[in-house]
Amino acid sequence: MPSVRFRLNGVERDVDTDPDRMLLDVLRGSLAVTGPHFGCGAGECGACNVMVDGRAVSSCDMPLWSVAGKEVMTLEGLGSAEHPHPLQRAFIAEQALQCGYCVSGILISAAALLKQNPSPSKDDVKRALDGNLCRCGAHNRMVRAVLRAAAEMAAR
């Protein structure tokens, strides 16, 4: 079986598996990384979003081979309770979720936005998150949280 090599949350990984398997399945299955969530399997909801070379993409419809040699980041790579990313702090401060199932993908989309545009407007944030679905209706809190994180990062 050919192996696919890529960096996952800063660590070099070699995966011996069918390279046509979807990245989400490999992350959650072989690599036991459960931050990215299964939502639809068709790239339509954003629950499985991961960052690939700085861009937020859905991993449920992305074959493993397509990330060969690339840098993949999941929620686990964003920050931790000990070293939280400003977005994570802001989501807690704004109490920016209800059930939280979609949040992993939304944090990734937001992190990718802030990499490209450190001082986004409210509309920029909404556009960046438009591919992520939230069913509980926590959207406005999430937008506020992203703006709060951007402000915090700018003040540093």
Write the DSSP symbol of residue 54: T
| Alpha helices by DSSP H, 9-69 | 23-28
For other proteins, give the closer residue by CB, 29 or 118: 29
Distance between CA 15 and CA 18 in Å, rounded? 9
Rg value, the chain, Cα: 15
For other proteins, give the closer residue by CB, 99 or 154: 99
Q: Are 11 and 21 in contact (CB under 8 A)?
A: no
Distance between CA 57 and CA 38 in Å, rounded? 13
In the list 44, 53, 117, 154, the residue contacting other proteins (rule: CB under 8 A) is 44
Give me 86's structure tokens: 């400003």
In the list 2, 16, 54, 95, the residue contacting other proteins (rule: CB under 8 A) is 95
Q: Verify binding: residue 143, other proteins, rule CB under 8 A.
A: yes
Name the amino acid, one letter, at 64.
Answer: L
Tell me, by CB under 8 A, how many residues bind other proteins. Answer: 54
Q: Verify binding: residue 136, other proteins, rule CB under 8 A.
A: yes
Residues of the shown chain interacting with other proteins in the complex, contacts defined by CB under 8 A: 21, 25, 28-29, 32, 34-35, 37-42, 44-45, 47, 74-76, 78-81, 84, 88, 91-92, 95, 97-104, 107, 123, 125-127, 129-130, 132-141, 143
